[in-house]
A and B are shown apart, each in its own frame.
Chain A
Amino acid sequence: MSDNASNNNLNEPDKKEPGLSIRSKMLIYFGSIFVIALIIFVLSETFGVPFTNFRGEYNQEQSEVFQHLNLIADLKKERIQRWIEERRGDSMALSESSIIRANIVALMPEINRNVVNGVYGKGLFDKLQKKEDYQVLTQHLNLVKTSYGVYDKIQITDAATDTIIASTDSEDLGVDISQHDSLSKILHQGYNEVIDIGKDPSSGVLKLFIFRAIDLYGVDEISAVLIMHINPEDFINSMLHTGGGLGRTGEALLINQDVRILTTLKHPLSNGAIAMPLEYQIKAEPAILAAQGQEGIIMTEDYRDKAVLAAYRHIRITSELGWGLVVKRDQAEIFAPLRKSIYYRTIIGTFCAFMMMGLTIVIARNLSRPIRRLSRAVRDVEKGDLSVRMSTTSSDEVGVLASAFNSMIRQVQNWNTTLSTQVKSRTAELEAKNVELERYTYTVSHDLKSPLITIKGFLGMLERDIIKGDAERVKNDMNHIHSAADKMNQLLDELLELSRVGKVVGIKEEVSLNDLANEALNLVAGQINKLGMQVEIAPDLPVIYVDRSRFVEVFQNIIDNAVKYMGKQPEPHIEIGSRQKNGEDVYYVRDNGMGVEQRYHENIFGLFNKLDQSSEGTGIGLAIVKRIIEVHGGNIWIESDGKDKGTIFYFTIAKKGDISQP
């Protein structure tokens, strides 16, 4: 890229595509933080905090629901167990009853005799009911049946014949029940008691049977078996009744070890059918687990394929018989209040989120307003308006920024003014230089032309003199040509020297002015001695920080100038010294020569300016002196009272550190 292009780029303001504003960013950042924080809060409050003991309302509520359901299941299990225990207690009390035992013992021979003779049922009842023992026995059994109100039927079976010998239902007398598994267990497998549930073969009604061995004679031998028939539905259904404690969908159901229902179900099956006790086998998980001997709580689907929360229990009745109890309630109903709570939380949370967003917008607008103002001000400055100022009423960071901005703009304004002044000054300086340069060019061309004209003139004369064969004049012509060429050479050397001053950098050093003056005097000693000139150098002249060789040249040129223009002074004299003027060291070289008229004081240092055109020299020496002095940050001028009054060359130079190294 060219310099011009670079400059153009520097001057061009940065044109950026407008992105998201601070207000938008604040809205997005803070809004997001608010919303996320709100969501985290609501979720934590509802579902708890992971890895802590804070479990949240949902889990807390869920725990309470679990506990409630578990409590109901435990209570129902306990009630059923107690009820069974009571029935077992009844059977034990009845089997141990002395009335029953004594009467059976009394009736047994008569019964056996009739059975052997094939008298069963009504015939046997007709015969036995006339016996007082039988009447007492049946009265006792009927008394138990009616007073407890639990038993459908109570029977006593003879262990020897497996036939019913006494019953609250006269039709049963003499009936052989040897095929009954429970009786077999009592009589042949060592069981003392067997509890079973099944359908009564005669009525088809669901019955709970309790078989209990009776040792009539106290010889550790089973002689009769008490059988108690219970219709469990009346009692168990009331025990399983869930009432209002389990809500509208709550249900408790009982199953046997084959997972078949023992009670009617509250709801129809998923296909609309009504399940029948001991026929319908439940496939639902809690029922299976309960039948297997497990207890717990589970979220699963029930026999209707509906999502439920179910507590399942195993009711062990004997080591061989166990029932499953399932207490369940639809999840939709259980968690409805909780879901409602979550719904309202979500609504409130969303409302709060919008409120937060609104608040964020207001805050973002207020906070970003001064920044937007600042941004506009910067754009105005960019367009060149340096008069803009920010309000600095606030004391916060933005206030500090506004204050700094104002200060910066003021500074820019000052720099602008200063630069304008400097530009004007430099422009004037440059114009002066241009004038000087024009003059220089004119002078150089004029002065260089003079020897050339001389050479050209003498070359013509040389030509004629050669034709004439005048050797003396030829030699004279040649001398003039040599002299003009030497003059031209000297002019060019000195011009080169002048141009070098300030460009060829010499090393500055601290040097005594005395030493410099003495060194210069040595260089012009021949001319001084020839004139018998007295030179006086002030002792203890200061040490100056200059390019030594250049300053020897300064002194040499000034002294040389004094020698040239000493005139006819009988006592030529030069004085070198220094003095203080306005707190500044001013150095001088004074002579008592021809002096300089006032009108020449200004241009005496000009190029090729000679007061006496006949004098030796090129008129460049003082121009070189002036240039060297200026390069050293100093100034030079002359003072003279006029013709034959002598001349004083004054000059100053910058102290060490006052000007930058060229």
Chain B
Amino acid sequence: MKIKRVVYTFLAACLILMIHTALLKTGKAEDQSIVKTPDLSHHPVYSKYKFNNAENVINLGVQPLYSPTGFITEVMKRDAVLRKDLSALGMEVRFYAFFKGGDVNWFLRKGNIDVGIGGDMPAITAAATMDTVIPALIQQGFTSVVANRSMLIRELRGKKIGYAFGSNAHYALLKALSSGRLSEDQVKLISMDVNEMPEALQSGKVTAFSAWEPTPAITLMKYPENVVIHRYLSSGYIYFTKIFSDKYPEVVRQIVAAEIRALRWMQSSRENLLKASEWALQASERLTMQKVELSVEENASLAEDDILGIASAPIIPQNDLRQNGSLFTEFEFLKALNQIPASANWKKVRGSFDLQIMIDVVTHSKEYKLNEFNYDIE
């Protein structure tokens, strides 16, 4: 009788453990309402920013942690040609660093900045919820899902995954899950900043995370046992408020020209690319107050393909803007996430992409000094 009791107790304990484990495994996505962009007025970094709202000052929000966008904006920041041309227009530009595109949009909506740089998800959000003009691509790069071991996407069922809500990486993660026949409800999503992700993965807090470069590269370099299990090609854009664009069309073109110039300058020599890499690392470290665990060379190698791949001009691919194209799909995805109102109109978003500005600039390369390089190299 005693043995029977022990056996039954053991079986009951096993059953309870299995049910408990099954419940843990079938984790629901966390309440998304809590991960929406909060009020950033009191953000420890952003609250120190003194935005200059004078008419002649262009406030430009950049993302140093978004590679290789960080390279381009750091080069633009040191562009003496831009400063001179803007000065000729009676304007000056100031750069403000942000952690992610959602934060850029928050300050854009508030009117603190006039120009933003963000991935396709923040750019579409801005285009759908504000009046914006998107004249240029700023990068095309892969967003990766990094896991603690080699696995199929379907093996992520019930696992915890780190992500940044509403970002490119969020979309890339959903695309990945979809390729493994999984939905958001079948995994446990943990919202976190990208700089927290490598340690979260290593400590086992999450089984995988989805992030843009250089976070995956840093993770693989620091913890080589981790594996990229999925990548998704996403884009980044530079976008202006429509009020600003309408008021200062020439300034918009000068800034786009500065972007092309920066790309061409980096493409023109390895030395320039390394310099830009150094500046980008410094900017990241200034923002996060943490050392980036990548050397200048490593950082440059990571960005190289994305920068060279853009070729001579960051023209927005027309294919992406087609109905049912990649941007349209992402627009629908954001609506499904309630990141943009259900009433948001694709036509309005599509209309925000102004391809003519880029054509104007590249077909007047001499006027916009696309091949004239003068950077503040200390």
Contact = CB atoms under 8 A, between A and B. Distances in A.
Nearest to B139: A319
A190 B362 contact: yes
B179 interface: yes
Give the interface centre of B312, B326, B358, B370 by most chain A CB atoms within 10 Å.
Answer: B312
Nearest to B154: A299
B229 A296 contact: yes
Give the interface centre of A66, A219, A295 by most chain B CB atoms within 10 Å.
Answer: A295
Given A220-B365, A319-B140, A319-B311, A295 B149 contact: no
Interface string A555-590: 000000000000000000000000000000000000
Nearest to B137: A319
Contact of B232 (A294, A297, A320): A294
Contact of B179 (A190, A193, A289, A314): A289
Interface in B301-319: 305, 308-315, 317-319
A422 interface: no
A316 B309 contact: yes
A292 interface: yes
Interface in B144-167: 149-153
B216 to A, nearest CB: 12
Contacts of B227: 67
A470 B133 CA distance: 168
Contacts, number: 97
A308 B313 CA distance: 40
A148 interface: no
A56 interface: no
Contacts of B363: 188, 190
Contacts of A318: 309, 311
A320 B233 contact: no
A322 interface: yes
Contact of A189 (B150, B359, B366): B359
B9 interface: no
Contact of B230 (A50, A66, A192, A296): A296
Interface string B330-370: 00000000000000000000000000001101110110001
Contact of A193 (B137, B230, B312, B358): B312
Nearest to A296: B230
B176 interface: yes
B21 interface: yes
Interface string B130-147: 000000010010100000
Interface residues of B, number: 42
A63 B150 contact: yes
B319 A257 contact: yes
Nearest to A318: B311
B90 interface: no
B180 interface: yes
Nearest to B260: A190
Given A189-B315, A190-B359, A294-B230, A299 B152 contact: yes
A190 B137 CA distance: 14
Contacts of B150: 63, 66-67, 70
Contacts of B314: 319
A53 B233 CA distance: 32
A519 interface: no
A296 B317 contact: no
8 contacts: A188-B363, A192-B311, A192-B312, A192-B313, A294-B233, A295-B232, A296-B153, A319-B140
Given A189-B359, A192-B362, 8 more contacts: A190-B359, A190-B362, A192-B313, A285-B179, A292-B326, A294-B233, A316-B309, A317-B309
Interface of B: 21, 137, 140, 142, 149-153, 175-176, 179-180, 227, 229-234, 305, 308-315, 317-319, 326, 358-359, 361-363, 365-366, 370-371
